[in-house]
C-alpha cells in the first residue's frame, strides 16, 4: 500500500515538474519576443505585457475574493477582527448580487485582454530564431495564457481563500473599489432581462428551499454557545431481578468562555443502591477549528480512549493537571413511586480559559478542550418506567450533540431476552412528537437489536427507547 502511494506521489511530482519546465520555456519565449520587438523600436507589446501582468494580479485577488465572500456571506460580520474588513463584508452582504455580477466583468475582460495581448504575428524562440507560423503562435498564446491564468490567477488564490476566507478578504479590499468603479459602465445590465426571461420560462422561477445540514447546525451551535456535548453513550445493563446498572460516557467540548463546572443527572424509577460514581477520564487540548467535523477522527479517538491513535496525534492527557472536584447528590424525583434523581457537579478551573497563558490572549486560534468522563449508577428493581407492557428509557439532548448512542442489554448473570419495540422523538411538551424522526429511528433501533446510534440528534428533543424483556426458562424447568 505504501509503495503504491510512493509511486503515485513520484508520478504527481514528475507531472508537475514537466509542466513547470514547459511554462518556464513559454515564459522564456514571451520575454525573448518582447525584447526582440523592443529592439525593433516597437514598445507596444512591452506596454501590453506590463498591463497584462498588473491585470492578472487584480484577477487573482478578484477570483479568490469570490470564494471568500461566498464563505462569509452568511456569517455575522461582527466576528471579523479587522475593522476595515468587517466594514467591507457588511457592505458586500448588503449588495451581494451587485458584487457577484460586477466582479465577473473582471474575469471576462482580463482573460480576453491577456489572450489578445499575447497574440503576436511572430514570436522569437531562443536558440531557434523567429517564427511566423500561425499554428505555432496560436498554440503559444493558448498554452501560455491558460497555464498562467490557471495557476496564478485561479486555483492558487481560490485555495488560499478556502484556507482562510477572512484573511483573503482583508487583502482584497482594493478590489471592491475597482468593482464599484467599473460598475459605472453597466456591462452586466442586459443580464437583468436575460435573467428575468429565464426565470419566467424555466424551473428557475421556483425558490430553493433546502434546510441546513445537521452537521452545519451542530457546528454553528457549538461555536455560538462555546460548548457542546460531542458524544454521549448510554448503556443499560439489566439484571434478572429488574435491577440495572446505568453507565454513561460524556465527551464535552469547551470552545471559549469561563466554563468552571459540568452538570449532569440520571433518573431512576426506583432507589439508587449508592451514589453514582463519577470518573474523570481525560482532558485534551486542541486548536479550535472553524469546522468541527474536520476533527471527527481525533474526537472519536479521545472518546474511544485509543491511546495509540492519540500518541500518533501528539495529544497528551492533561486531566491530572486540572484542579477540580466532584459532588454527587440524590433527590426524590417527581415520578410516581420510589423514583430518584441523581445529580452531579464537576467544578474547578475554568475551561478552556485556564489552558493558555494570559500573555497569549491575542493569538488567532484559541484552544479547544475535550473533556471526557464516565458515570456509573446502580439502581434497585424497577429502575425503568413501564408503558403499554414495555420498559422505557427517556433522555433529553439539551446541548448541541454530534452522536448519541444507547444500548440495552442483560447482564452476564441474567438470562434475559431483550427486543426493541420503538424509539420516540419529541420536543418538550404534549403533542410535539417528530414523526419522521420517530419512524426513522424506530426502524434503525429494531434492526440494530439492542443498540441505537443517532448522528446529530435534535437539540432539545427527548429520546424515548421502549423494549420488551423475556425471561428465558432453563431446560431443567420443563
Q: Report how far residue 284's alpha carbon sits from residue 316's, in angstroms, rounded to the nearest whole number.
A: 6
Is the Cβ–Cβ distance between 238 and 418 less than 8 Å?
yes
- Indicate whether 240 and 175 sit together in one domain: no
Q: Report how far residue 106's alpha carbon sits from residue 182's, in angstroms, rounded to the nearest whole number.
A: 9
**pTM, to two decimals:** 0.72
DSSP summary character for residue 433: B
User: How high is the pLDDT of residue 475?
Assistant: 45
Q: Give the contacts of 389 (CB within 8 A, at least 6 positions apart).
A: 468
Q: Report how far residue 99's alpha carbon sits from residue 235's, in angstroms, rounded to the nearest whole number.
A: 53
| Residue found by looking up cell 439508587 in the block | 272
Q: Is residue 212 part of a domain?
A: no
User: How high is the pLDDT of residue 335?
Assistant: 57
Q: Is residue 3 part of a domain?
A: no
Indicate if the alpha-carbon torsion angle 430, 434, 440, 445 is positive or negative: negative
Give the CA distances from residue 116 to residues 27, 62, 64, 224, 261, in Å, rounded to whole numbers and listed in that order.
Answer: 16, 20, 24, 50, 67
Query: Within its chain, how far is the Cα of 303 from the centroid?
Result: 19
- Indicate whether 421 and 395 sit together in one domain: yes
Q: Is residue 213 part of a domain?
A: no
Q: Is residue 366 part of a domain?
A: yes
Q: Please give the grid coordinates belonging to residue 100.
A: 457577484
Of 205, 233, 257, the last residue of a domain is: 205
Q: Please give the grid coordinates belonging to residue 29.
A: 519565449
**Averages of pLDDT over each 10 residues, the chain, 478 residues:** 77 91 94 92 92 94 92 84 89 88 88 92 89 91 94 93 90 90 85 84 80 88 92 90 90 90 89 92 91 92 94 92 90 72 91 68 72 94 86 91 91 74 84 86 78 90 88 51
User: How high is the pLDDT of residue 387?
Assistant: 84
Q: Is residue 23 part of a domain?
A: yes
Q: Give the contacts of 166 (CB within 8 A, at least 6 positions apart).
A: 68, 72, 80, 81, 85
- Indicate whether 223 and 199 sit together in one domain: no
- Indicate whether 50 and 193 sit together in one domain: yes
- Indicate whether 108 and 168 sit together in one domain: yes
Of 175, 51, 184, 189, nearest in space to 106 by CA: 175
Segments forming the whole domain that contains residue 436: 218-472
- Indicate whether 158 and 274 sit together in one domain: no
Q: Report how far residue 466's alpha carbon sits from residue 393's, in angstroms, rounded to the nearest whole number.
A: 7
User: How high is the pLDDT of residue 212?
Assistant: 79
- Indicate whether 183 and 260 sit together in one domain: no
- Indicate whether 168 and 263 sit together in one domain: no
Angle between helices 44-72 and 156-163 in degrees, nearest 10: 30
- Indicate whether 430 and 303 sit together in one domain: yes
Q: Is residue 66 part of a domain?
A: yes
Q: Is residue 210 part of a domain?
A: no
How many distinct structural domains can be found in the chain? 2
Burial of 65 from C-beta contacts in 10 A (0-12 / 13-18 / 19+): buried
For 424, phi then psi, to 5°, come to -110, 140
Residues β-bridged to residue 375:
248, 278
User: How high is the pLDDT of residue 449?
Assistant: 64
| Residue found by looking up cell 420536543 in the block | 427
Q: Report how far residue 448's alpha carbon sits from residue 456's, in angstroms, rounded to the nearest whole number.
A: 18
Give the CA distances from residue 325 to residues 228, 261, 317, 376, in Å, rounded to whole numbers and listed in that order.
Answer: 21, 9, 18, 17
Give the CA distances from residue 53 to residues 35, 114, 118, 152, 153, in Å, rounded to whole numbers and listed in that order.
Answer: 16, 9, 11, 11, 10
Q: Is residue 188 part of a domain?
A: yes
Of 205, 229, 260, the last residue of a domain is: 205
- Indicate whether 160 and 276 sit together in one domain: no
- Indicate whether 230 and 286 sit together in one domain: yes
Angle between helices 2-39 and 134-148 in degrees, nearest 10: 120
User: How high is the pLDDT of residue 297?
Assistant: 94
- Indicate whether 190 and 234 sit together in one domain: no
Of 205, 233, 263, the last residue of a domain is: 205
Amino acid at each position: 500500500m505504501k509503495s503504491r502511494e510512493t509511486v503515485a506521489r513520484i508520478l504527481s511530482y514528475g507531472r508537475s515538474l514537466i509542466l513547470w519546465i514547459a511554462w518556464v520555456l513559454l515564459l522564456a519565449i514571451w520575454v525573448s519576443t518582447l525584447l526582440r520587438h523592443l529592439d525593433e523600436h516597437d514598445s507596444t507589446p512591452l506596454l501590453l505585457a506590463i498591463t497584462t501582468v498588473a491585470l492578472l494580479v487584480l484577477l487573482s485577488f478578484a477570483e479568490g475574493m469570490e470564494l471568500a465572500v461566498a464563505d462569509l456571506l452568511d456569517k455575522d460580520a461582527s466576528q471579523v477582527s479587522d475593522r476595515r474588513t468587517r466594514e467591507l463584508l457588511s457592505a458586500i452582504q448588503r449588495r451581494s448580487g451587485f458584487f457577484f455580477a460586477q466582479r465577473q466583468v473582471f474575469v471576462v475582460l482580463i482573460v480576453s485582454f491577456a489572450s489578445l495581448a499575447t497574440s503576436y504575428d511572430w514570436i522569437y524562440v531562443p536558440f531557434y530564431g523567429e517564427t511566423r507560423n500561425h499554428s505555432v503562435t496560436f498554440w503559444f498564446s493558448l498554452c501560455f495564457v491558460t497555464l498562467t491564468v490557471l495557476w496564478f490567477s485561479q486555483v492558487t488564490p481560490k485555495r488560499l481563500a478556502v484556507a482562510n476566507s477572512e484573511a483573503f478578504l482583508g487583502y482584497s479590499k482594493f478590489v471592491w473599489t475597482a468593482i464599484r468603479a467599473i460598475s459605472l459602465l453597466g456591462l452586466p445590465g442586459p443580464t437583468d432581462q436575460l435573467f428575468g426571461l429565464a426565470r419566467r420560462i424555466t424551473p428557475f422561477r421556483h425558490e430553493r428551499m433546502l434546510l441546513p445540514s445537521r452537521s452545519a447546525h451542530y457546528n454553528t451551535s457549538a461555536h455560538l454557545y462555546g460548548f457542546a456535548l460531542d458524544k454521549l453513550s448510554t448503556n443499560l445493563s439489566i439484571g434478572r431481578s429488574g435491577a440495572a446498572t446505568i453507565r454513561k460516557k460524556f465527551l464535552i467540548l469547551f470552545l471559549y468562555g469561563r466554563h468552571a463546572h459540568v452538570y449532569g443527572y440520571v433518573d431512576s424509577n426506583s432507589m439508587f443502591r449508592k451514589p453514582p460514581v463519577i470518573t474523570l477520564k481525560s482532558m485534551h487540548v486542541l486548536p479550535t477549528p472553524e469546522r468541527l467535523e474536520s476533527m471527527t477522527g481525533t474526537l472519536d479517538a479521545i472518546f474511544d480512549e485509543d491511546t495509540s491513535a492519540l500518541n500518533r496525534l501528539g495529544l497528551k492527557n492533561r486531566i491530572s493537571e486540572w484542579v477540580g472536584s466532584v459532588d454527587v447528590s440524590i433527590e426524590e424525583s417527581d415520578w410516581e413511586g420510589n423514583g430518584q434523581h441523581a445529580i452531579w457537579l464537576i467544578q474547578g478551573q475554568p475551561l478552556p480559559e485556564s489552558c493558555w497563558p494570559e500573555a497569549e490572549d491575542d493569538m488567532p486560534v484559541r484552544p479547544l478542550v475535550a473533556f471526557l468522563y464516565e458515570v456509573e449508577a446502580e439502581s434497585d428493581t424497577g429502575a425503568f418506567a413501564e408503558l403499554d407492557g414495555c420498559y422505557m428509557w427517556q433522555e433529553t439532548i439539551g446541548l448541541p450533540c454530534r452522536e448519541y448512542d444507547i444500548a440495552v442489554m442483560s447482564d452476564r448473570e441474567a438470562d434475559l431476552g431483550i427486543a426493541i419495540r420503538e424509539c420516540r422523538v419529541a420536543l418538550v411538551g404534549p403533542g410535539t412528537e417528530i414523526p419522521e424522526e420517530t419512524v426513522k429511528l424506530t426502524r434503525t433501533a429494531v434492526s440494530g437489536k439492542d443498540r441505537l446510534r443517532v448522528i446529530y440528534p435534535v437539540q432539545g428533543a427527548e429520546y424515548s427507547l421502549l423494549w420488551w424483556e423475556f425471561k428465558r426458562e432453563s431446560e431443567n424447568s420443563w
